[in-house]
Chains A and B, each alone.
Chain A
Amino acid sequence: MIEATGLTKRYGDKLAVDQLCFEVRPGVVTGFLGPNGSGKSTTMRMIMGLDLPNAGDATVNGRHFHDLAWPMHEVGALLEAKAIHPGRSARNHLLMLAESNRIGRRRVDEVLELVGLSEVANRRAGKFSLGMGQRLGIAAAMLGDPEVLLFDEPVNGLDPDGIRWVRTFLKSLAKEGRTVFVSSHLMSEMALTADEVVIIGKGRLIVQVSIDELLAQGSRQSVRVSSPDIGPLRSALEAEGAATSVEDDGSLTVRGKDHKEIGELAARLSVVLYELTPQTESLEEAFMELTESSIEYRGTNAAVANALKETEQ
């Protein structure tokens, strides 16, 4: 369990994290979503006691990170790939961390095996690719077999195979009952991995919601219509309760009517259609709209609907 209450971090005049409140439960993968620079890494660093908050609190299992008796046995974190001395081998990097928390050498070999780095364990980490660095970071996080895990953008730099591996891995960790908190700036990635998401923008909480709910909100249909005579068609559509908006190129985006209904209506009105294209709004777009319209929505699931509605008008 990870809890943030009123967590705030200021760098000079800039508020990096602004009164953030959320809760990360065990047993599920919780995604931490936000555009780059929205304060995800800063938040994770505060949870790990690396940055000190200006206000508010972050706790792990009800305690501050620096009060834990055996930090690595309780919390594991991958905060940045390749935070390793380039002259030190992967094995020695893990060994020096293990020793600080009285973890045996056998466990070092186990986690190397776990992330598939056994064969390069004695090679200097400076020669590692970004992907290998990520895997070493994951190995370090797993050293103490902790109950709580934080991963900051773990799939960055991984090849498709590695990405799939991380997804499966995160899910298996959650299934074992662990608390898994994983950040990403990609909604699509989270849609595949997370059960729940904490979405932030400009350091503030936009919403904490389950992926299923978000998917329901996000997968809306719209139809792109272009016609030399768009005016009367638009009026007629709106009269029948559809929402419309005119795009920059003069085409119309229609929600609330499917392409068949629009086509039939156009025929009744004898309006010529050049284009009639059904479109699925991706989760990614829903996410973009949420984070761009940043501001005041927070806390409730209704906020998602509100935010989405807001951006339509």
Chain B
Amino acid sequence: MSMTTTSAAAIGPLKQLPPGRYSIRDQMRSEWTKLISVRSTIWTLGLTIVIGIGVSAIATAETRSHWASTQHGGFDPTSLSLTGVFISQLIIGVLGVMVMSAEYGTGTIRATLSATPRRPGVLVAKVAVFGFVALVVSMVTAFLSFFVGQALLTAPAVHATLSSPNALREIVGTGIYLFLIGLFALSLATLIRHTAGAISTFVGILLVLPTVLQALPNSLQHDIVKFTPSRIGIAVLSRSGQHPYAFSPWVGLAVLAGYTAGLLIIAGVKFTKRDA
């Protein structure tokens, strides 16, 4: 090991500090480096897009191949081409969890808080950076899934364009849904802090909860199921925007945004008060 003398020109009161104090922008730059410097994160982001498009492509190709032998009343080419989102949401959710839980799992959180001890800022920077990336990836997934899917729906199958009724609403709504699910997962992980626990909870809410609710009597079930994130997602993909037992797409997304914001606030308060 080489012994180098430290480069301490001036120590103590004489040392020149940068003006002001560290800011949210410094923290965001740091969070960005964290995000892009782990290979698995980049892979997972790519996978969200690729799997989303892939599953959508399979679904549309399948429909196209049976086109002649099936009925097509109320067929919505847009929502068909966005089918892959239901897989993508799991991937982006796992990523949202990992972005936070890995800090705890690896101990990086201690390094982070030793560099930037004001905790609300840590969470805000993380949410901003991951949120931005999640939004871009979600929109890319939604739009590319749509274009690939429509390209596969060759004549005689019906296909949609961006100007088809409700197409843009469905695509953008899907992108927002995916983005919110990612943030929702990040918030869960901030609260739960353990990767396995947070992922199980996330999957439980997304996939298991709707199934469990089916045990309820119908009258009650329909009123409750519409509050689940997955039903909100399904409603976003309906062309009419009028699923019988769901909120309308925008209301649903607002409810989901509400969950995410609420969870984030609770998680943020806990994060600020707990030992790291």
Question: A residues within 8 Å of B by Cβ?
Answer: 26, 45, 48-52, 65-66, 68-75, 77, 79-80, 82-89, 92-93, 95-97, 99-102, 110, 113-116, 135, 140, 142, 145, 147, 161-162, 165, 168-169, 172-173, 176-178
- In the complex, how many angstroms separate the beta carbon of A294 from the nearest chain B beta carbon? 25
Residues in chain B near residue A87, CB distance under 8 A: 38-40
**Complex contact A177–B37 (CB within 8 A):** no
Selected from B1, B12, B108, B110, the residue in CB contact (under 8 A) with A165 is B1
**Complex contact B15–A162 (CB within 8 A):** no
> With A69-B22, A176-B8, A177-B11 in contact, do A100 and B30 touch (Cβ < 8 Å)?
yes
Question: Could you write out 25 A-B pairs with CB less than 8 Å apart?
Answer: A50-B275, A50-B276, A52-B275, A68-B117, A70-B18, A72-B115, A73-B17, A73-B18, A80-B107, A80-B110, A83-B107, A87-B39, A87-B40, A88-B37, A88-B38, A92-B33, A93-B108, A95-B33, A97-B115, A100-B22, A100-B112, A165-B3, A176-B6, A177-B11, A177-B12
Selected from A85, A115, A145, the residue in CB contact (under 8 A) with B102 is A85
Q: In the complex, what distance in Å separates the CA atom of A87 from the CA atom of B35?
A: 11
- Tell me if B62 counts as interface (CB < 8 A to partner A): no
Residues in chain A near residue B31, CB distance under 8 A: 96
User: Chain B 16-39, CB within 8 Å of chain A: the 1/0 string?
Assistant: 011011100011011101100111
**Complex contact B37–A89 (CB within 8 A):** yes
Q: In the complex, what distance in Å separates the CA atom of A114 from the CA atom of B26?
A: 25
**Complex contact B21–A161 (CB within 8 A):** no
Residues in chain A near residue B21, CB distance under 8 A: 69-70
* Total A-B pairs, Cβ < 8 A: 138
> With A69-B21, A88-B38 in contact, do A100 and B12 touch (Cβ < 8 Å)?
no
Residues in chain A near residue B18, CB distance under 8 A: 70, 73, 102
> With A70-B18, A97-B111, A101-B115 in contact, do A161 and B106 touch (Cβ < 8 Å)?
no
Residues in chain A near residue B162, CB distance under 8 A: none
- In the complex, how many angstroms separate the beta carbon of B264 from the nearest chain A beta carbon? 21
Residues in chain A near residue B113, CB distance under 8 A: 48-50
**Complex contact A101–B116 (CB within 8 A):** yes
Q: In the complex, what distance in Å separates the CA atom of A75 from the CA atom of B115?
A: 9
Residues in chain A near residue B38, CB distance under 8 A: 85, 87-88
Nearest A residue to B117, CB-CB: A66
**Complex contact B26–A99 (CB within 8 A):** yes
Q: In the complex, what distance in Å separates the CA atom of A22 from the CA atom of B107?
A: 28
> With A92-B33, A97-B30 in contact, do A110 and B7 touch (Cβ < 8 Å)?
yes
- In the complex, how many angstroms separate the beta carbon of B265 from the nearest chain A beta carbon? 20
**Complex contact B276–A51 (CB within 8 A):** yes
Residues in chain B near residue A70, CB distance under 8 A: 17-18, 21-22
- Tell me if B72 counts as interface (CB < 8 A to partner A): no
**Complex contact B115–A79 (CB within 8 A):** no
Additional A-B contacts beyond A71-B114, A71-B116, A147-B12 (10; CB < 8 A): A48-B117, A69-B22, A73-B18, A80-B107, A80-B110, A83-B108, A84-B106, A85-B102, A88-B38, A99-B33
